[in-house]
Amino acid sequence: MDIGERIKFCRKHRGMTQDRLAEETGIHPVSIRKYETGKMVPKPEQIERIAKALNVTYSAISGDYDVVFPVGRFPEVISLLMMLFHSGIITIEGEKNGEQKIEPSTAKMKVNPSIARFFNVESSNAKIALEQGWLTANDPRIMNFFSEYEAVVSAYEQAVREGKEHPSEEQEQVIQQRKQKMEKTQMLMQLKPLVLPMDFDYDIETDGDYNPEDYGPVFAEMLEEKRKRQRNPEEKNEKSTI
């Protein structure tokens, strides 16, 4: 089903006319008809309004269920976890140090209680409610990254809150700087091979603009380890322990 067919299906299931849907969404009736016939495609904002009026999820209208998230490589796992983190499906908790960063050794992930309450975790001889437990990582790189990333995101969100609806010029500058740092951190972990096995081949010069202070000691250590391996080719087949 395309988006138009989904709108029509949900609308009829709710016993709603096109005119009523237009009234509830504030979208012109002609546009509603064109959406349903496939002559126009609604923008994300319109999809959100239609979904709200029909009391269904955004995905029920957009059909985003078919989106595939490859997780074969470590950066892809990090990318998926970041998406779950930003959508509120998982949270990161742990003891914070003097720099207000979560200590990786204490970091753990919690599933959103609104979701966790529907599930249990079972083994051959035990069962606990998912909302009573948490996730820890077998690979320390995951919590090393999220201890840094949670601090960067928190700093950005704090700047946004302080700026509120009408930030001053100085506040707007801080917001944009912190947003850029957050986005650089995201891209660093997904595009730069610092998180990949040590036999991953890349040109060390591509990291010439890397500033450890921008991303914290964890990334600096990872980069330095990578550079050491490149200076010593005989150790190239070893895997990273970071």
Single pTM value for the model? 0.62
Domains observed in the chain: 3-66 (1.10.260.40), 74-187 (no CATH), 192-235 (no CATH)
pLDDT given at position 241: 41
Kind plus residue range of the DSSP H or E element containing 108: strand 108-111
Convert the pLDDT of each residue in 184-235 to its tens digit.
887 776 654 444 443 333 343 444 444 555 445 555 666 666 667 767 766 5
Mean pLDDT of the chain: 81
Q: What is d(CA 64, CA 28) in angstroms, rounded to the nearest whole number?
A: 25
**Residue 152 predicted with pLDDT over 60:** yes
Least trusted range by pLDDT, from 70-79, 124-133, 186-195: 186-195
Count of other CB atoms within 10 angstroms of residue 98: 5
